Structure 1
Amino acid sequence: MLSFRRYASTSRSLPSEMYTNPLHSGEPAVSTTPTSITAAQRNALDAALRIDQAGEIAANWIYHGQHFVLGRDPHTGPLIQEMWDQEKKHLLVMDKLQLQHRIRPTILTEVAKVAGFGLGAVTALMGKEAAMACTEAVETVIGEHYDDQLREMESLPHDHPSVPLLKDVVREFRDDELEHLDTAVENYSQRAPAHALLSSVIGAGCKVAIELCKRV
């Protein structure tokens, strides 16, 4: 029987480094997927990673759109770039997870790119505060979504080394997204014109997108 070296996270390194550091590329935790799981568990894993990959694509294009408009701003530009750089890493890892677990990507990838860029650019054109309000709304939904996923992942078999690693990666990315939310609030997102309406519309759109990507 194939034996696996169990993945163990440490306080000295981020879980995502298992995917970004080539030294780990051959380890079972980053190169194999559970096979002894039920159809329901496989469907849950497929849906979770399909949504996460699509979400990171959209997030990258939101920040792309914001940076396209506000990138030259001496204060807001570097903030957007820093958050965008984190999202680039998230997408790199999600792309590797999609291949590792043999997940079918959503057919809405191109829609996510166009919609993300449009949302980022339009809110940035409304002003710095509106761009931050967009970030606040999106990251609120994504943070809650990652929390829901972590609860759902309790049903996956933890005797396979990829599962505890996946959960640790999701926790890491959730914390990054919540840090982006805090950055947005600290940079006056709640001063945006019609903040409550803007947040509600963007948040509702994100939730619809999550449900669509789960299915297609």
Structure 2
Amino acid sequence: MTDRAQPNQVQPNQAQPSQAQPRRRLPGDLTPDALLDRVIRVDHAGEYGAKRIYEGQLAVLGAKPEGKVIRHMLEQELTHLHAFEKLMVERRARPSLLFPVWHVAGFALGAATALMGPKAAMACTVAVEEVIDEHYREQKLALGEAEPEITAKIEQFRAEEVEHRDTGLAHGAEEAPAYPLLSRAIKTGSRLAIWLAERV
């Protein structure tokens, strides 16, 4: 009596399923160098914008209880910014040409939401950090295993941005006036800023 192969048992001469191959680069895709240049440029601009948002919030709320929380988040953003400044020099990446825009717009957004009240300032933090979380995840996937040192930094910074989001939620962000509308507007502006900083 011959043994019968079990339904899922692989026979010696049976063709093995092919291993998943990395996606081929398609026309219009960035070269690895161009992708890295874009990653460093947009993240440098984004961290600078975050720095300016928190500076704008501190200009209004610095003397209030929320000032200590905002100051802590600013310190972490400065660490992120300095890391990307270093990478920009090491990898000869081009900075965004819209730096004057990020300088003014970031501070204005931070100050404007702080003037609406501490909860609105926290709502701003939550909206921005949710977009940044999404953005860093996409960058990590795009880089793959080509730049382990940079992807490790991105993952570390993403975890700290998520911590900022959670801090904002813990300090009443969702209780801000017109929270859904405010959050949606800030997210739309943040995504536009990312798109522009990647390219300009």
TM-score, length-normalised on structure 2?
0.84
Between the aligned partners of 1:153 and 1:100, the Cα distance in structure 2 is: 18
Are 2:62 and 1:78 aligned? no
Contact 1:67 1:80 in 2 (8 A): yes
Q: Which runs of 5+ in 2 are unaligned?
A: 1-28
Contact 1:56 1:91 in 2 (8 A): yes
Instruction: Name the structure 1 match of 2:167.
Output: 183
Q: 1:41-120 to 2 correspondence within 5 Å? A: 41-73=32-64, 75-120=65-110
Contact 1:50 1:106 in 2 (8 A): yes
Aligned residue pairs: how many? 172
Alpha-carbon distance change, 39 to 137 in structure 1, aligned in 2, over 3 angstroms: closer
Instruction: Name the structure 2 match of 1:12.
Output: none
Instruction: Quote how far apart the aligned CAs of 1:39 are.
Output: 6.5
| Greater relative contact order, per chain length (Cα 8 Å cut-off, separation 6+) | 1
Q: Which amino acid aligns with 2:77?
A: E
- Deviation string 1:42-86 (CA, Å, 9 cap, x unpaired) is 11111111100000000000000000100000x201000000000
Instruction: Name the structure 2 match of 1:205.
Output: 189
Give 1 or 2 for the bigger CA radius of gyration. 2
**Percent same amino acid at aligned positions?**
45
TM-score, length-normalised on structure 1?
0.78
Superposed structure 1 runs of 4+ greater than 2 Å apart: none
Partner SS state of residue 106, structure 1: coil
Partner SS state of residue 146, structure 1: helix
- Deviation string 1:158-213 (CA, Å, 9 cap, x unpaired) is xxxxx211111000000000000000000000000000000000000000011111
Partner SS state of residue 94, structure 2: coil
